[in-house]
Amino acid sequence: MEIFQYEFMHRAFLAGIIIGLICPVVGLFVALRRMSMISDALSHVCLAGVAAGLFSGSNPIITASAFAIAGALTIEKLREKFKTYSEISIAITLSTGVALGAILLDLGKGYNANFMSYLFGSIVAINTTDVIIIAISGLLILGLIFLLKKELFFISFDEEGASLAGLPVKAITIAFTVLTALTIAVAIRVVGILLVSSLIVLPVAASMRIAKSFRGALLISVIMAEVAVIIGLFASFYINLAPGGAIVMTSVILLLGTLALCQRQYNPVKVTEKIAQREDSSI
């Protein structure tokens, strides 16, 4: 096929497949903890990180990762300050990220053209260094997620019970938020800053409509994310679309198809209760 005659497409598919794996894995725990908006806030913090990387001449993915991790830690710290209204921490971090990104972009006006490739994703601009960073980060994220899978599952459904059981809830929560930040930072090269949170949320939303167990939701969300990435990259190459937009629109279509075909009323409380009952024996 013509698409595979180009080396940049090999890099794009390799990076895309890795991202299509880690985003729904992290996204499922994000959704179960009812913290989907945190991915949107951290993606906007990455905006400032990319701008800082372009301005300083550093690798934008590395600077975006550093900024995203700092944003994740800030969110957790602010959640302690606003315990009753913890969602304020997300709004504060998002606003700060956008404002800082705007300032850095204004200071480095000559880099605005390169910045657009990070805003909406670019398959042509993905280089070997990007693929290496994405691959190493992906292995780290997946390894830690599966290492902490039982603890994260317990905390997602009963944080107070997990604390009483002796789990270091605060440390695990901070670690997971940092992993979420790292996932978003490495995914922006393919999906783009404005759309990366959608790849974390949409496949998971579709899978929770169908799945009857945690493992089922995890498997279905990964499959849907990978299908969206592959179709999106094909559309980006042959129809000359922004890869991020093509990938996310494919995810939207898959979600709408799931909603149309699955007639049962979606009730997140009942779904999570069923998942908890099925997985309780493995904790």
Confidence category of residue 281, pLDDT binned at 50, 70, 90: low
- The pLDDT tens digits for 104-130 are 888 876 566 677 788 888 888 888 998
Show Cβ contacts of residue 198 under 8 Å, excluding neighbours closer than 6 positions.
191, 248, 251, 252
Mean pLDDT over the full length of the chain? 84
| Residue 227: per-residue pLDDT | 95
Counting residues of the chain whose pLDDT is more than 90, the rounded percentage is 33
Q: What is the pLDDT of residue 280?
A: 53
* C-beta separation of 221 from 22 below 8 A: no
Average pLDDT over residues 206-215: 86
- Residue ranges per structural domain of the chain: 2-282
CATH of domain 2-282: 1.10.3470
Q: Which of 179, 177, 172, 173 shows the shortest CA–CA distance to 137?
A: 179
- pLDDT tens-digit series, residues 25-50: 999 988 888 777 888 889 889 989 99
Q: What is the pLDDT of residue 266?
A: 44
Residue bearing tokens 């990319």? 50
Q: What average pLDDT does range 59-69 have in this prediction? A: 91
Tokens of 27: 């996204």
Q: Which residue reads 């000559």 in tokens?
A: 110
Reported as a single tens digit per residue, the pLDDT across 215-261 is 888 999 999 999 999 999 999 899 888 888 999 999 999 999 998 88
Q: What is the pLDDT of residue 189?
A: 85
Model confidence at 14: pLDDT above 60: yes
In the chain, DSSP finds a helix count (H) and a strand count (E) of: 13, 0
Identity (one letter) of the amino acid at 4? F
The CA radius of gyration of the chain, in Å to the nearest whole number, is 19
Averaged pLDDT for residues 74-80: 85
User: What's residue 111's pLDDT?
Assistant: 63
Name, in order, each residue with C-beta under 8 angstroms of 212's C-beta and a sequence gap of 6 or more. 274, 278
d(CA 129, CA 3): 21
**Residue holding tokens 């670690």?**
175
84 has a pLDDT exceeding 80: no
Amino acid at 6: Y
pLDDT band at 265 (very low <50, low <70, confident <90, very high): very low
Q: Give the residue-averaged pLDDT of 50-69.
A: 89
Banded pLDDT at 264 (limits 50, 70, 90): low
Secondary structure (DSSP) of 42-92: HHHHHHHHHHHHHHHTS-HHHHHHHHHHHHHHHHHHHHHHTSTTTHHHHHH
pLDDT for the residue numbered 251: 94
